[in-house]
């Protein structure tokens, strides 16, 4: 018997190279995994790096339904990052692709490899704004007001990923 799919929210970001193509390619790769489908994707945003330097990021959040375990999903996301040329020379370094598990159903996970819910998501406008587009009932006005000083701009509606 197959496990029921979990609703998972994945943060996507890139600030090096062809950022939009990297995000679109990551979504296409996720849609190819067994037992996984991309349910919906937020609008596309541009934001300044937080606690880092480098060019502006493009950001979005995807809701996926998957039968993968959290650990298998993390490995699959990291594989996509590596395929996109992701390097980790230092914390918060500019990146060709960054994929983070924000929520995995209602699970709370705290292992050396994975912490869910994502530990810094409440501090990041580039996570909260796209999440609020997808699940406004889970992102409070108070949480959004706490990050209102972080510059973020919606560039395109959710149609930026048409065909994924």
- Residues known to be catalytic: 86, 95, 98, 100
Q: Are 41 and 62 in contact (CB under 8 A)?
A: yes
Task: Tell me the pairing of strands 6-14 and 109-110.
Answer: unpaired
Q: Is the dihedral of CA 28, 130, 66, 117 positive or negative?
A: positive
CA distance 12 to 89: 19
Are 112 and 88 spatial neighbours (Cβ–Cβ below 8 Å)? no
What phi, psi does 59 have (nearest 5°)?
A: -135, 155
């Amino acid at each position: 018997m197959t496990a029921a799919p979990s609703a998972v929210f994945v943060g996507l970001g890139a600030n090096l190279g062809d950022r939009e193509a990297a995000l679109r390619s990551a979504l296409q790769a996720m849609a190819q995994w067994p037992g996984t489908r991309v349910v919906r994707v937020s609008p596309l945003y541009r934001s300044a790096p937080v606690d880092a330097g480098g060019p502006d990021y493009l950001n979005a959040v995807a809701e996926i339904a998957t039968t993968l375990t959290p650990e298998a999903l993390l490995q699959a996301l990291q594989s996509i990052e590596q395929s996109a040329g992701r390097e980790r020379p230092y914390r918060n370094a500019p990146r060709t692709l960054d994929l983070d598990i924000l929520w995995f159903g209602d699970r709370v996970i705290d292992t050396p490899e994975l912490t869910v819910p994502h530990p810094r998501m409440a501090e990041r406008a580039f996570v909260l704004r796209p999440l609020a587009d997808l699940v406004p009932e889970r992102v409070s006005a108070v949480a959004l007001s706490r990050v209102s000083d972080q510059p973020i701009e919606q560039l395109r509606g959710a149609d930026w990923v048409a065909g994924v």
